[in-house]
Chain A
Amino acid sequence: MAQEQKQPRKSSQEETATEEVVESDLAERKEMIDEDVDAILDEIDEVLETNAEDFVKSFIQKGGE
Chain B
Amino acid sequence: MSVRRVMGTEVEYGISVQGQPAANPMVASSQIVNAYASSTARARRARWDFEEESPLRDARGFDMARQMADPTQLTDEDLGLANVILTNGARLYVDHAHPEYSSPEVTTPLDVVRWEKAGEQIMLDASRMAAQVPGSTPILLYKNNTDNKGASYGAHENYLMRRSTQFAEIVRHLTPFFVSRQVVTGAGRVGIGQDGRDTTPERGFQISQRADFFEVEVGLETTLKRPIINTRDEPHADPAVYRRLHVILGDANLAETSIYLKAGTTALVLAMIEDGFIDRDLTVEGAVRTLREVSHDPTLRQLVTLRDGRRLTAVQLQMEYLELARKHVEDRLGADADEQTVDVLARWESVLTRLERDPMECATELDWVAKLKLLQQYRDRDSLDWDDAKLHLIDLQYSDVRPDKGLYHRLAASGRIQRLLDDQQVEHAMHEPPTDTRAYFRGRCLDKYADAVAAASWDSVIFDLPGRESLQRVPTIDPLRGTRAHVGDLIDRSDTAQALVAAITR
Contacts and interface: CB of A to CB of B under 8 A. Distances in A.
Contact of B12 (A43, A47, A55, A65): A65
Given A40-B374, A41-B381, A7 B360 contact: yes
Between B25, B97, B377, B380, the greatest number of chain A beta carbons within 10 A of the residue's beta carbon is seen for: B377
Interface string B66-99: 0000000000000000000000000000011110
A61 B147 CA distance: 6
Contact of A44 (B147, B222, B298, B410): B410
Contacts of A63: 96-97, 151-153, 223
B95 A4 contact: no
A52 B156 CA distance: 30
A9 B374 contact: no
A44 B374 contact: yes
Interface in A1-29: 1, 3-10, 12
B414 A40 contact: yes
A31 interface: no
Interface string A24-38: 000000000000010
B29 to A, nearest CB: 10
9 contacts: A3-B359, A7-B360, A8-B363, A41-B377, A44-B374, A58-B16, A61-B15, A63-B97, A64-B151
Contacts of B205: 1
B212 to A, nearest CB: 13
B378 interface: yes
B299 interface: yes
A34 B394 CA distance: 20
A49 B95 CA distance: 28
Contacts of A60: 16, 21, 147, 149, 151
A18 to B, nearest CB: 13
A60 to B, nearest CB: 5
A1 B154 contact: no
Contacts of B243: none
A64 B95 contact: yes
A61 B25 contact: yes
A47 B100 CA distance: 26
A65 B152 CA distance: 9
B364 interface: yes
B12 A64 contact: yes
A5 B154 CA distance: 32
B396 interface: yes
Contacts of B42: none
A44 B363 CA distance: 17
Contact of B393 (A43, A55, A61): A55
How many interface residues does chain A have, given as a range? 20 to 34
Contacts of B364: 9
Contacts, number: 133
Contacts of A62: 25, 96-98, 151
B329 interface: no
Given A41-B377, A62-B96, A47 B223 contact: no
Contacts of A61: 14-16, 25, 97-98, 146-147, 149, 151, 153
Interface in B386-414: 389-390, 392-394, 396-397, 404-405, 407, 410-411, 414
A47 B405 contact: yes
A64 B364 CA distance: 30
Contacts of B392: 52, 56
Contacts of A12: 354, 361
Contacts of A3: 358-360
A8 B100 CA distance: 35
B148 A4 contact: no
A37 B360 contact: no
A62 B222 CA distance: 14
Contact of B223 (A37, A55, A58, A64): A64
A43 B394 CA distance: 13
Contact of A47 (B142, B148, B410): B410
A49 B222 CA distance: 32
B377 A64 contact: no
B106 interface: no
Contacts of A1: 205, 298-299, 372, 376
A55 B142 CA distance: 13
Given A4-B373, A40-B414, A63-B151, A56 B405 contact: no
Nearest to B406: A47
A10 B16 CA distance: 37
A59 B14 contact: yes
B225 interface: no
B389 A53 contact: yes
